[in-house]
Homo-oligomer: A and B are copies of this chain.
Amino acid sequence: MKPVCLIIGAGAGIGGHVGKRFARDGYHVVLCRRGNAQGLESLIAEIESDGGSADGRLLNIVEENAVEELVLDVEKNTGPIEVVVHNIGAQIGNRSLTDTPLKTFELGWRLSCFSLFRLAHAVLPIMAERGKGTLLVTSSTAARRGNAGQHSHAAAMGGRRMLCQSLNAEFAAQNIHVAHIVIDGAVDAPDTLGKMLGENAFDKLRQEKGNEDGLMLPSHIADTYFHIAQQHRSVWTHELDLRSFSDEAWWNHAVSVSF
């Protein structure tokens, strides 16, 4: 039986490519996304036509019991979850404090911080019982520094980063690997960044940065996710950044007199 890789947030960007990568190397992947049943079917079909094995679910992660039942269902009907990928952001673009209603702030937290807690709460004890497991968390720049307009996103991401460290502190010795992967730039992902920016702005950005590989290519991001999941337990990575060669780091802006 193939080991199972469960992906929460499997669209056309990082999540989908991570799914393809794990499927290519022998995992059965369970792909979950909120909507777009057709996109989900296409992804599964693509994986299967490459000789891989996958199934999928539509799932609203903020619904009560949604994550909890998913984990139990996969464990019971598909197989033991070896790797779980949490790939849910809550980026809403730049919004001033006044333009960020309380509901928006709360939803951002439910989507990207509380959902990880719920997922961990459901799956880590099962993994600990089995004596092994891997939890890969897609994160972003905002987990390491706030920014104007990022009140909701940065607060959710910053909380999640500390949660990852806490989970690792409790579970590493039980042979469970938690990795916090900081996506430190713009991903070439039409489903997320593309939708947020709008098609025209996204195309313009791709052209400016370089169509071929100016934005971060999710298929190559997937290579690093896979590598991390295969690391020997004596040399686990708990946090790393990924950023394009063409991108300045966020801490290197060109202010003339800041040394």
Interface residues of A (CB under 8 A from B): 91, 96-98, 100, 102, 105-106, 109, 113-114, 117-118, 120-121, 124-125, 140-143, 145-151, 153-173, 175, 177, 184-186, 188, 193, 197, 205, 213-217, 220-221, 223-224, 227, 230-259
Query: A212 → chain B, closest Cβ, in Å?
Result: 9
Subset of 30 A-B contacts with CB under 8 Å: A96-B170, A97-B121, A97-B167, A97-B171, A105-B117, A109-B159, A113-B155, A142-B162, A145-B251, A146-B164, A146-B167, A147-B251, A151-B170, A154-B162, A155-B163, A155-B166, A157-B162, A168-B249, A172-B247, A175-B245, A184-B258, A213-B234, A214-B234, A217-B232, A217-B234, A220-B235, A224-B227, A224-B237, A234-B246, A253-B255
Complex Cα distance, B220 from A125, in Å, reads 27
In the bound assembly, the distance between CA atoms of A157 and B230 in angstroms comes to 29
Q: Which residues of B contact A154 (CB under 8 A)?
A: 159, 162-163, 165-166
A62 nearest CB across to chain B (Å): 12
A201, closest chain B residue (CB)? B256
Given known pairs A91-B259, A234-B213, A239-B240, the reply for A150 and B166 (CB within 8 Å) is yes
- Chain B residues with CB below 8 A from A173, complex form: 245-246
Q: Which residues of B contact A188 (CB under 8 A)?
A: 234
CB distance from A225 to the nearest CB of B (A): 10
Taken together, the copies of this chain in the complex come to: 4
Assess whether B237 is in contact with A241, with CB atoms less than 8 Å apart.
yes
CB-based contact A252/B109 at 8 Å: no
Additional A-B contact list (13), CB under 8 Å, known A109-B159, A158-B163: A109-B113, A146-B162, A146-B167, A147-B165, A149-B169, A153-B259, A154-B165, A157-B159, A213-B233, A217-B235, A240-B240, A240-B241, A247-B258
Distance to closest chain B CB from A4 (angstroms): 21
Does the CB pair A233–B245 fall under 8 Å? Answer: yes
> Which residue of B has the minimal Cβ distance to A92?
B259
By a CB distance below 8 angstroms, the chain B residues around A170 are 96-97, 148-149, 151
Report the bound CA distance from A164 to B239 in whole Å. Answer: 17
- Best-surrounded residue of A153, A243, A245 (most CB of chain B within 10 A): A245
Residues from chain B with Cβ under 8 Å of A150 in the complex: 162, 166, 169, 259
